[in-house]
Structure 1
Amino acid sequence: MRLLLAAALGMMLLTLDAEAASPENFTVDTAEDLVALCSADPSNPNYVAAIHFCHGFGSGGYHYYKIEALANPEREFVCFKEPFPTRTAVIENFVKWAKKHPQYMENEAMDVLFRYLAETYPCAK
Structure 2
Amino acid sequence: MKKLSFTLAAASAICAAALTFNANADQKIPVLSAQELVNHCKLPASPDSRSYCIGYTTAIYDTYLATRHPQRAKNTICVKQPAPKRDEVIADYVQFISQTAPMLANDPAAGTFLSFLSMRFPCAKK
Change (3 A) 1:88 1:28: farther
Structure 1: gaps (5+ residues): 1-26
Give, in angstroms, the shift of residue 120 of structure 1: 0.9
Higher relative contact order (CA 8 A, sep 6+): 2
Larger Rg: 2
Aligned-partner residue type, residue 83 of structure 1: P
In the alignment, the residues of structure 1 paired with residue 43 and residue 122 of structure 2 have an alpha-carbon distance, to the nearest angstrom, of 28
Q: What does residue range 1-125 of structure 1 map to in structure 2 within 5 Å?
A: 29-42=32-45, 47-69=46-68, 71-73=69-71, 74-100=73-99, 101-125=101-125
Q: Contact 1:78/1:122 (CA < 8 Å) preserved in 2? A: yes
- Cα deviations by residue, 1:51-88 (Å, 9 ceiling, x for unpaired): 1000000101101101122x335331001113311111
TM-score (norm 1): 0.68
Structure 2: gaps (5+ residues): 1-29
In the alignment, the residues of structure 2 paired with residue 59 and residue 37 of structure 1 have an alpha-carbon distance, to the nearest angstrom, of 14
In the alignment, the residues of structure 1 paired with residue 31 and residue 117 of structure 2 have an alpha-carbon distance, to the nearest angstrom, of 18
RMSD: 1.7
Q: How many residues align?
A: 94
